[in-house]
Each structure stands twice: as structure tokens, then as C-alpha cells.
């Protein structure tokens, strides 16, 4: 591109004028260029992308954050949340001392007083009502080491499987999808596939706001390869649409039919990889094996017209989407909560895998069906670490005798300590708390009194039970209800490992000492273990490294083998993607292929992919019914309510709510209404409305905007003063037990 000299001078003058003040800062820039800052390698505390960040400290304080340019995940980039992490470390709402409820109010107490009370109550309740009268509820934000210690204490020593974590509310359906379709949890490929994909299918994912750095990678991919196509299936127009080529704006809850219709076209128009299907795929209706022909017959009903009518879209768009997917040499699907937080989340996950299995677009560069994670360590600590009521570390199950025996041996407890029956899944756990059957709960690093669906049903129970909350922040909706609040060390104040979406485990350095009296969660849990008489099996955990070293022995020989990823190696590298069976192994890009160290060549007999966790080595294409949402709209509640996120805030805002800049970006909660609906209902922008569902109501500012589809409204769920979850439904997916946060029926009126 040529520019005339005149234009050049004009441009230069403009930019120089704009930067007249900035210019003095560059050389020896105020903070970033200061040699007095020590930089520590870490991982972002927010979403599941797993961006490498460097935490800058000076005189024992966190003063700056920059992207880790050596991380292949983000190449130095940050999103606007990660950018302010150092401010959150020293936020005003950090809890710096233990609190104990006395005469109805939370009052400062010593660690000894607080922990004595916790131990005394837990002991008494277990003695009187048995171990299943207590529960642990953890988080995809705790480190793997913390979840491991808690798991060992509760399942191995207290003998209760009432052990859950918030990933149940977030990605349990993705787990269910991977297990049923491929036989093993977590994606086949990695982020590296992004740079090889010709087509991206985003469904139920507002990537631009929920996974901004991955969105940056999509933007870069499209910029460098303008032929790259992006399709999105979403009820809402979102900032992601800026780079989207085709948007199927479906009615919430009716996308299963669309996915079947796409599969039907892929088969009918010859886009399938018949060799791959014959070698590596089998078919099922969910109850029994069916034939390829049966599956084709099942699909017959799903014409583009049928699906389009159900989903309220143009049938031609379905045809277009299918052809784009079929014609692209490489294609990657990505999804998040719009697929997972559904009563048929597992089924929809299956349908995503279906189109990749039918076309063989799996297990090779640029091809994957890839579930994006919402929390930084949901994959690592909870899915891999076995932090749910039916799991044990290393992708094991409590129901399997051999698994219990293997873990009991590592934990140095009799195998009978680990109960074979899964404990109560999250919603059952909080129902049992509400019913008074669970009498004491230990909540670590999460905020269920804000994040559970249909909150009105569960809040009183949380108030009534003996509630212990370990958190870095106070007040939160949950700490307000607690009997004991324990100040937990925050990110940067502790060492540990996070495992992100792409099977990558990354080490985070401790950069500063915990502030005030805050302690590492692992230390708090081990103190509790000692006080409950189980200290012996935790004595050897002097550091997080000791915990990790024991944890990785549980992964040896498993599909998620991390034997080759001890701290000594993790401290140096920018994470490792399992399976990584030995210290010379570089980590694995595509599972179930020859790249995978666990790939059984003899059994595979020349097949490109062998799903070794399935008895026949074949992945399953499912003929699942296209069931709609649990609470469809009707005459009384004619609008669909969906909840979700904004870029600048995260989950329950305990972190982003303390950063003025982020609050500034989105200062208030609101309800989004489509302009057509607003006109019909007589709403103007900034009016006040009352949104009502069968479970509760909420007064909110109206934002009239062409984002939600006509007939749907959207509320971001971050604000504690306007709890969107008073409205949401707690209906769950029967397979994954994940609630349908994304869809319920609502109505709206003027306040």
C-alpha cells in the first residue's frame, strides 16, 4: 500500500500529537519497564483458557501483571480481566482474619478458635448422624493440590462421598458427552488446532466475552487466512458476531434438531468419511447399539425444514452451515455453557461429536470437537483430580472396586474407607442441606449462595446448617450465611497447579506471602484433618509440591498420565499437555492417534484412531431425541430467559467487582430486551422492569438492544445485589446433573 508523503506527514503529525505526553513514559516506562520489579511465572486466575501471566512484585506486594509471551496459549496477550489481577490481590474485600458467628454476627476470631469450632462441630455431627451428614463443596478455581487434599480427607478418611465442586454446574455435561462419545473425558485435540482450522463452528459460546484470548486467536486466524469461516449457533447476537460469517439465531433449547439436520445433510450430500466411520465409529440410540442404516433412518425426520421450524430459523441457513462444515478440509467446533447448562446438555454434546465423527474431522490438525472450560482448574483439579461425588483421582470412579483399592493404597487407608456409592451431586447436596439431612458443609473457594439456580429454595438451608466457608473475599453471598469464615490465601500468595481446557497443567509460583492471617487452603484442610484425628496421612505434605508428587502417582498408567510432569519440570515449562508419561515426553496433541503415547498399535491394526477406553476402540455416534427445554414458554410466561456473562466481570464478581475500571466498563446489572419486544411491551431503554419467573422476581434496568432474539431476554448473572439465580430453574440433566441455567420461561412488566 502506498501513501503519499503529504499523507505520511499528516499521519505522523497526528500520532505524534496524540502521544506527546506518552512519549516521556516509554523509556523507563513507569511500571512495566522498572528493573525493580520481580516477575513470577503464573497462570491467569480467571477463565479456563489458561493464559500464561507474569506477576510483578515489589517489596512483597503485587504491582503489575503482564502476559507471558513464552506461553503458547496467549503469546503475551491478556484480556481486560487478567490485566488487573495484581489489583485484586490487594483488593479491599480481601478477608484477612478468621470470622466466627457469635450472637448472630460474624466476629473476628483466632485461627485456633475458628478451627476448634469447625473440628468440634464436624466430629459431633459425624458421630451422631454418620459421615454422610457432612459435605464438601469445592471449586474449579482451587488448585489441584487443594482439591486433592480435600478429596483425600473427605472420601478417604471421613468416608463420605458427599464431595462436589462447582464444575458440576458448569461442565458436567461436557464430561458426560466426552465419556459417552469417546469413552474418556476431555478433548481429543488442543488449541494448536486453531491455527490449522479452516472453519469454526461456535455453539452456545460467546467466545469474545467468555474466552477473549481464544477469540483473539480466532481473529488472528481469520486475519492471516481470510478464507477462514466462522459459524455460530446462538440465540443471541454477541460481540463474537464481529467475526462471524453465518449466524443461526435459534430459539433457546431447540438446537438439537439443528445438529441432527446438519448431520443428515453431511451424510446425504456425501461429506462423510466412510472409511473412518467403518473403522472407528459405532452407532447407538442411547440404550442399545444400532446400525449406520438405523441411524440414517433416524435422521430422516430431521429435514432442514423440520429443524428450522423448531429452532425458528431459515432452513437454507442450516443447509449452508452443513455444506460449509462439510466442504472445509478442517473444522473445529467449540462450545461452552449454552450447550452444557441444559437439561439435555450431554445429548447436545454427543451431537457435536457426531458431526466430527461422521466426517472424520477429529484427531488431526485443525479438526476437533472442543469444549471450552469456564474455570481455570475445572479440568485439572476437579475432572482429573476426581473432585466430584462419583469420582476418584486420575479419572477413576468410586463405584469401581479396583479404583477404590488403588486410591486407598496411595492414601494409606483401608479400601473400605472409600464408599462405593456415589455421594450427593451438587443439586442433591444443596437439597439435602435445605432438608436438614446434611448438617455441616465445608465450602472452599466458591460462592453457591450466588451461583446456585433457583436460589430461594436453597438459601434458608445454607443459613440453618453449620456452614464453613474458606474464601479470599468477604463479604460474599455465601460468607454472609456462614458460621465460620476462613481467610484463604489468594492467587500469587500460594503455589500450585492449574489444568486448563486443552489438558495443559501449568505451575503457578508463589510470588508473595499471604496477606493478614490468610492461609493456604491446603494448610487449612490439613489442620482440620489433624484436629479430626487424621493428621498422620497428611504429615508428609510439607509443600504443595509434596501434594502434587503424590497426586501424579494416581495418574500413572491412566489416560491422563501426568507422571512426566513433576514440579521440577513444570516450574520451567509453560505447562504440559497430558498424557505425558515420562519426563522426556513433550506432551500430546491428538489423543487416540499415533501421536498418543497410550495408542495401542497392535489393537488399532492400522486404523487412524482407536478410542482405547471403549471396549471395541470405537467412538459412538448417538441418535438422541431432540428434546426441548424443561420449561418451555407458555401464555403465562411467554419469554425465554437466558443468563450469562459480560467480558469485564467474572462469575460472582468477588474479584472483578473490586476493580474500578472493570466496574466502570459495566457499572450496573440489566436485562436485555430485543427492540421489537420492547416496542410491543412498551419499554424504552433505561426503564425499570420487573422480570418474573415461577421462582422469583427481580427489578432491573432495561437495556433495549438488538442482541437477544425476539421472544428472549438476557440477564448477566454477576451482580450480588441483583441475583439472576433467583429466577433460574434448578431442573437438571438426568445424566450430568447439570442445571438448565440457560433456559426458563419468564415474563416482564413495568416496575
Residue 66 vs 747, nearer CB to other proteins = 66
Determine if 32 is a binding residue for other proteins (CB under 8 A): yes
449: nearest Cα among 437, 461, 432, 436? 461
Is residue 657 among the annotated active site residues?
Answer: no
Whether 243 contacts 312, CB under 8 Å: no
Catalytic, out of 44, 51, 171, 508: 171
Determine if 509 is a binding residue for other proteins (CB under 8 A): no
Binders in 186-215 for other proteins, by CB under 8 A: 190, 192, 194-195, 208-209, 212, 215
Where does this chain touch other proteins (CB under 8 A) — which range of 15-23, 153-161, 246-254, 371-379? 15-23
CB of 227 to other proteins, least distance (A): 14
Residue 26 vs 400, nearer CB to other proteins = 26
CB of 243 to other proteins, least distance (A): 7
* Cα dist from 508 to 146, 411, 513, 579, whole Å: 13, 25, 14, 20
Residue 746's DSSP bridge partners are 639
Residue 35 vs 104, nearer CB to other proteins = 35
Determine if 90 is a binding residue for other proteins (CB under 8 A): no
Rounded-to-integer distance, Cα 657 and Cα 539, Å: 38
CB of 321 to other proteins, least distance (A): 23
Determine if 223 is a binding residue for other proteins (CB under 8 A): yes
Rounded-to-integer distance, Cα 124 and Cα 131, Å: 10
Catalytic, out of 41, 66, 81, 614: 81
Q: Of all helices (H) and strands (E), which one includes residue 247?
A: strand 246-248
Whether 529 contacts 538, CB under 8 Å: yes
Residue 700's DSSP bridge partners are 689
558: nearest Cα among 591, 586, 584, 602? 591
DSSP helix, strand, coil percent of the chain (3-state; round to 5) = 35, 20, 45
Rounded-to-integer distance, Cα 12 and Cα 18, Å: 10
Chain CA centroid to CA 297, Å: 36
Binders in 624-663 for other proteins, by CB under 8 A: 647-648, 660-663
C-beta atoms surrounding 540 within 10 Å: 11
Residue 192 vs 546, nearer CB to other proteins = 192
CB of 408 to other proteins, least distance (A): 35
Residue from 415, 573, 681, 690 that binds other proteins (CB under 8 A)?
Answer: 573
Whether 78 contacts 71, CB under 8 Å: no
Three-class DSSP labels, 606-654 = CCCCCCCCCCCCCEEEECCCCCCCCCCCCCCCCEEEEEECCCCCCCCCC
Determine if 46 is a binding residue for other proteins (CB under 8 A): no
Determine if 500 is a binding residue for other proteins (CB under 8 A): no
Listed in sequence order, the residues at least 6 apart from 557 whose beta carbon sits closer than 8 Å to its beta carbon are none
Where does this chain touch other proteins (CB under 8 A) — which range of 25-33, 384-392, 547-555, 741-749? 25-33
Determine if 19 is a binding residue for other proteins (CB under 8 A): yes
Determine if 34 is a binding residue for other proteins (CB under 8 A): yes
Residue 180 vs 207, nearer CB to other proteins = 207
Listed in sequence order, the residues at least 6 apart from 739 whose beta carbon sits closer than 8 Å to its beta carbon are 169, 341, 427, 453, 728, 729, 730, 731, 732, 733
Is residue 337 among the annotated active site residues?
Answer: yes
CB of 71 to other proteins, least distance (A): 8
Determine if 224 is a binding residue for other proteins (CB under 8 A): yes
Give the residue carrying C-alpha cell 482405547.
612
Whether 738 contacts 168, CB under 8 Å: yes
489: left (phi over 0), alpha (psi -120 to 50) or beta: beta
Binders in 584-613 for other proteins, by CB under 8 A: 586-587, 589
Binders in 243-302 for other proteins, by CB under 8 A: 243
CB of 368 to other proteins, least distance (A): 13
Q: DSSP 3-state assignment of 256? A: helix
Determine if 740 is a binding residue for other proteins (CB under 8 A): no
Binders in 349-388 for other proteins, by CB under 8 A: none
Residue 75 vs 415, nearer CB to other proteins = 75
Applying CB under 8 A, what is the total number of residues that bind other proteins? 89
Residue from 6, 20, 105, 293 that binds other proteins (CB under 8 A)?
Answer: 20
Q: Which three cell numbers stand for residue 704?
A: 433495549
Determine if 668 is a binding residue for other proteins (CB under 8 A): yes
Give the residue carrying C-alpha cell 479396583.
402
Determine if 75 is a binding residue for other proteins (CB under 8 A): yes
Is residue 533 among the annotated active site residues?
Answer: no
Q: Which three cell numbers stand for residue 337?
A: 455453557
Whether 407 contacts 401, CB under 8 Å: no
Residue 185 vs 209, nearer CB to other proteins = 209
Residue 215 vs 611, nearer CB to other proteins = 215
Binders in 442-481 for other proteins, by CB under 8 A: none
Catalytic, out of 183, 189, 374, 381: 374
Is residue 375 among the annotated active site residues?
Answer: yes
Rounded-to-integer distance, Cα 162 and Cα 388, Å: 8
Q: DSSP 3-state assignment of 251? A: coil
Determine if 751 is a binding residue for other proteins (CB under 8 A): no
Strand order across the 619-622 sheet: 289-290, 281-284, 619-622
Binders in 53-72 for other proteins, by CB under 8 A: 54, 58-59, 61, 63-67, 69-72
Q: DSSP 3-state assignment of 56? A: strand
CB of 171 to other proteins, least distance (A): 24
CB of 249 to other proteins, least distance (A): 21
Angle of the 521-531 helix axis to the 111-129 helix axis, nearest 10? 50
Determine if 91 is a binding residue for other proteins (CB under 8 A): no
Residue 445 vs 609, nearer CB to other proteins = 609
DSSP states along 141-174 = TS-HHHHHHHHIIIIIIS----EEEGGGGTTHHH
Catalytic, out of 47, 324, 337, 367: 337
Residue 485's DSSP bridge partners are 99, 469
Residue 63 vs 106, nearer CB to other proteins = 63
Residue from 91, 119, 219, 434 that binds other proteins (CB under 8 A)?
Answer: 219
Determine if 40 is a binding residue for other proteins (CB under 8 A): no
CB of 376 to other proteins, least distance (A): 19
Rounded-to-integer distance, Cα 287 and Cα 299, Å: 17
Rounded-to-integer distance, Cα 715 and Cα 696, Å: 14
Determine if 666 is a binding residue for other proteins (CB under 8 A): yes
CB of 236 to other proteins, least distance (A): 16
Is residue 711 among the annotated active site residues?
Answer: no
Residue 14 vs 400, nearer CB to other proteins = 14
Catalytic, out of 141, 375, 510, 515: 375
Q: Which three cell numbers stand for residue 273?
A: 468419511
Residue from 102, 242, 268, 603 that binds other proteins (CB under 8 A)?
Answer: 242
Determine if 435 is a binding residue for other proteins (CB under 8 A): no
Determine if 8 is a binding residue for other proteins (CB under 8 A): yes
Determine if 220 is a binding residue for other proteins (CB under 8 A): yes
- Residue 204: phi and psi, rounded to 5, are 55, 35
Residue 278 vs 661, nearer CB to other proteins = 661
Determine if 4 is a binding residue for other proteins (CB under 8 A): no
Cis check: omega of the bond before 279, within 30 degrees of 0 = no
Binders in 136-175 for other proteins, by CB under 8 A: none
Determine if 684 is a binding residue for other proteins (CB under 8 A): no
Listed in sequence order, the residues at least 6 apart from 504 whose beta carbon sits closer than 8 Å to its beta carbon are 50, 73, 190, 575, 576, 577, 587
Q: Could you give the residue numbers annotated as active site?
A: 81, 170-171, 337, 374-375
Amino acid at each position: 500500500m502506498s501513501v503519499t508523503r503529504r499523507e505520511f506527514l499528516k499521519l505522523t503529525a497526528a500520532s505524534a500529537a496524540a502521544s506527546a505526553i506518552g512519549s516521556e513514559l516509554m523509556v523507563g516506562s513507569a511500571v512495566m519497564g522498572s528493573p525493580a520489579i520481580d516477575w513470577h511465572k503464573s497462570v491467569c486466575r480467571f477463565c479456563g483458557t489458561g493464559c500464561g501471566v507474569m506477576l510483578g512484585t515489589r517489596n512483597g506486594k503485587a504491582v503489575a501483571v503482564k502476559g507471558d509471551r513464552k506461553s503458547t496459549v496467549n503469546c503475551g496477550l491478556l484480556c481486560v480481566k487478567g490485566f488487573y489481577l495484581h489489583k485484586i490481590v490487594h483488593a479491599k474485600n480481601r478477608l484477612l482474619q478468621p470470622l466466627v458467628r457469635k450472637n448472630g454476627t460474624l466476629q473476628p476470631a483466632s485461627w485456633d478458635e475458628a478451627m476448634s469450632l469447625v473440628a468440634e462441630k464436624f466430629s459431633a455431627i459425624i458421630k451422631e448422624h454418620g459421615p454422610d451428614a457432612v459435605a464438601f463443596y469445592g471449586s474449579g478455581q482451587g488448585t489441584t493440590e487443594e482439591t486433592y487434599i480435600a478429596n483425600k480427607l473427605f472420601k478417604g478418611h471421613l468416608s463420605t462421598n458427599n464431595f462436589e465442586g462447582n464444575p458440576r454446574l458448569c461442565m458436567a455435561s461436557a464430561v458426560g458427552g466426552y465419556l459417552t462419545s469417546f469413552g474418556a473425558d476431555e478433548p481429543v485435540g488442543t488449541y494448536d488446532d486453531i491455527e490449522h482450522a479452516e472453519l469454526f463452528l461456535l455453539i452456545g459460546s460467546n467466545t469474545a466475552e467468555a474466552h477473549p484470548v481464544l477469540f483473539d486467536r480466532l481473529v488472528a486466524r481469520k486475519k492471516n487466512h481470510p478464507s477462514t469461516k466462522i459459524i455460530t449457533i446462538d440465540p443471541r447476537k454477541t460481540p463474537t458476531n464481529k467475526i462471524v460469517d453465518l449466524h443461526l439465531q435459534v430459539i433457546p433449547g431447540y438446537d438439537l434438531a439443528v445438529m441432527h439436520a446438519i448431520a443428515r445433510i453431511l451424510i446425504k450430500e456425501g461429506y462423510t468419511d466412510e472409511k473412518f466411520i467403518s473403522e472407528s465409529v459405532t452407532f447407538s440410540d442411547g440404550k442399545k447399539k444400532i446400525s449406520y442404516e438405523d441411524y440414517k433412518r433416524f435422521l430422516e425426520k430431521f429435514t432442514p425444514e423440520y429443524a428450522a421450524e423448531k429452532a425458528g430459523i431459515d432452513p437454507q441457513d442450516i443447509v449452508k452451515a452443513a455444506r460449509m462444515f462439510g466442504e472445509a478440509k478442517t473444522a473445529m467446533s467449540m462450545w461452552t455453557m449454552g450447550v452444557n447448562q441444559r437439561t439435555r446438555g450431554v445429548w447436545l454434546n454427543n451431537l457435536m461429536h457426531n458431526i466430527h465423527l461422521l466426517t472424520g474431522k477429529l484427531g488431526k490438525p485443525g479438526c476437533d470437537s472442543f469444549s471450552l472450560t469456564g474455570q481455570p482448574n475445572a479440568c485439572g483439579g476437579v475432572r482429573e483430580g476426581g473432585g466430584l461425588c462419583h469420582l476418584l483421582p486420575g479419572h477413576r470412579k468410586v463405584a469401581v472396586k479396583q479404583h477404590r483399592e488403588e486410591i486407598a493404597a496411595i492414601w494409606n487407608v483401608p479400601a473400605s474407607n472409600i464408599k462405593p456409592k456415589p455421594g450427593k451431586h451438587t443439586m442433591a447436596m444443596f437439597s439435602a442441606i435445605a432438608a436438614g439431612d446434611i448438617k455441616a458443609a465445608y465450602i472452599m473457594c466458591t460462592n453457591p449462595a450466588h451461583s446456585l439456580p433457583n436460589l430461594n429454595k436453597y438459601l434458608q438451608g445454607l443459613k440453618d446448617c453449620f456452614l464453613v466457608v474458606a474464601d479470599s473475599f468477604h463479604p460474599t453471598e455465601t460468607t454472609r450465611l456462614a458460621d465460620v469464615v476462613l481467610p484463604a490465601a489468594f492467587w500469587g500468595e500460594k503455589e500450585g497447579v492449574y489444568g486448563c481446557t486443552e489438558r495443559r497443567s501449568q505451575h503457578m509460583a508463589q510470588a508473595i506471602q499471604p496477606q493478614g492471617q490468610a492461609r493456604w487452603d491446603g494448610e487449612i484442610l490439613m489442620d482440620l484433618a489433624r484436629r479430626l484425628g487424621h493428621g498422620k496421612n497428611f504429615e508428609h505434605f510439607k509443600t504443595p509440591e509434596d501434594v502434587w508428587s503424590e497426586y501424579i502417582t494416581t495418574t500413572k498408567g491412566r489416560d491422563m498420565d501426568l507422571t512426566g510432569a513433576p514440579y521440577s519440570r513444570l516450574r520451567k515449562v509453560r505447562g504440559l499437555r497430558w498424557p505425558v508419561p515420562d519426563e522426556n515426553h513433550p506432551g500430546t496433541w491428538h489423543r487416540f492417534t499415533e501421536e498418543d503415547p497410550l495408542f495401542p498399535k497392535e489393537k488399532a491394526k492400522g486404523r487412524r484412531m482407536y478410542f482405547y477406553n471403549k471396549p471395541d476402540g470405537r467412538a459412538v455416534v448417538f441418535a438422541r431425541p431432540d428434546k426441548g427445554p424443561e420449561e418451555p414458554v407458555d401464555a403465562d410466561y411467554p419469554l425465554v430467559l437466558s443468563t450469562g456473562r459480560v467480558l469485564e466481570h467474572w462469575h460472582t464478581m468477588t474479584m472483578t467487582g473490586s476493580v474500578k475500571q472493570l466496574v466502570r466498563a459495566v457499572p450496573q446489572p440489566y436485562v436485555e430486551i430485543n427492540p421489537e419486544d420492547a416496542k410491543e411491551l412498551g419499554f424504552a431503554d433505561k426503564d425499570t422492569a420487573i422480570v418474573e419467573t415461577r421462582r422469583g422476581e427481580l427489578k432491573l434496568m432495561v437495556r433495549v438492544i438488538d442482541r437477544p432474539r425476539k421472544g428472549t431476554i438476557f440477564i448477566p448473572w454477576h451482580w450480588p445485589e441483583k441475583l439472576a439465580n433467583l429466577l433460574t430453574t434448578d431442573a437438571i440433566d438426568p445424566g450430568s446433573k447439570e442445571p438448565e441455567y440457560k433456559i426458563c420461561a419468564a415474563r416482564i412488566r413495568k416496575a
